[in-house]
Amino acid sequence: EVLLLESGGGLVQPGGSLRLSCAASGFTFTSYSMAWVRQAPGKGLEWVVSIAGDGGTKDYADSVKGRFTISRDNSKNILYMQMNSLRADDTAVYYCAKPGSNTITSGRGFDFWGQGTLVTVSS
Amino acid sequence: DMQMTQSPSSLSASVGDRVTITCRASQGVNNYLAWYQQKAGRAPKLLIYGASTLQSGVPSRFSGSGSGTDFTLTISSLQPEDVATYYCQKYNSVPFTFGPGTKVDLK
């Protein structure tokens, strides 16, 4: 059974930093790209960042470029996202998501999602 | 920038009704189009990928169609458990943009 378990959310002041983790199990983690998707309170879904299975290719939404960094530890099956220079509009539930194929552009959408972790940026 | 739009933004329908949601991309997405269902307080769930392929375990009352820039999600007979917000997403290239969502509730 595929499981994705996010952690690391919480309350942080504007300008602060936070690191999110997503522990993956039930599939060959290193074979799959992974992504973070967020949802601000009462709003829609926003793709934030994705990373290739080998960690080589990383793509970022313009809204987080230069502030967020995605990484992965394939020996531990953990996906990370380091968030710096946080702003109020980064307040959201952050989901990690697994594509249905090895890469996101291979054609099967995101077939498994974690339960999400809430990040609140406020003074 | 690439834009995804959905219509309507919300709808109310009765149990047993046929429901249709439309998604439009500002540029062609080569059928790399997925539909998700999100119930209140829950993570999204994949319903359809490749514009028309039903994800394993999803009831057959859900179907997807379309190509290029115009896509449709249809619920053939609305059930109470289908109350949710539905999102389309393109994934042919970055950014993997979602539509703004369509909220479906019962009349």
What is the rounded average pLDDT for all residues in chain B?
97
pLDDT at B34: 98
Evaluate if residue B1 carries a pLDDT over 80. Answer: no
Evaluate if residue B49 carries a pLDDT over 90. Answer: yes
Q: In this structure, which amino acid lies at residue B1?
A: D
pLDDT at A107: 80
Evaluate if residue A106 carries a pLDDT over 90. Answer: no
Binned at pLDDT 50, 70 and 90, residue B37 comes out as: very high
Most B CBs within 10 Å, among A3, A4, A22, A47, to test the B interface: A47
- Chain B residue numbers touching A2 (CB-CB < 8 A): none
DSSP chain A: --EEEEE--EEE-TT--EEEEEEEESS-GGGS-EEEEEE-TTS-EEEEEEE-TTS--EEE-TTTTTTEEEEEETTTTEEEEEE-S--GGG-EEEEEEEESSSSGGGS--EEEE---EEEEE--
Is residue B102 helix, strand or coil?
Answer: strand
pLDDT at B75: 98
Write the pLDDT tens digit of every residue in B86-95.
999 999 999 9
- Chain B residue numbers touching A59 (CB-CB < 8 A): 94-95
Write the pLDDT tens digit of every residue in A86-99.
999 999 999 999 99
Nearest by CB to A105, from B38, B55, B92: name it. Answer: B92
- Chain A residue numbers touching B53 (CB-CB < 8 A): 108
Evaluate if residue A38 carries a pLDDT over 80. Answer: yes
Write the pLDDT tens digit of every residue in B50-78.
999 999 999 999 999 999 999 999 999 99
Region B21-37: what's the mean pLDDT?
A: 96
What is d(CA A73, CA A35) in angstroms, rounded to the nearest whole number?
14
What is d(CA B75, CA B61) in angstroms, rounded to the nearest whole number?
5
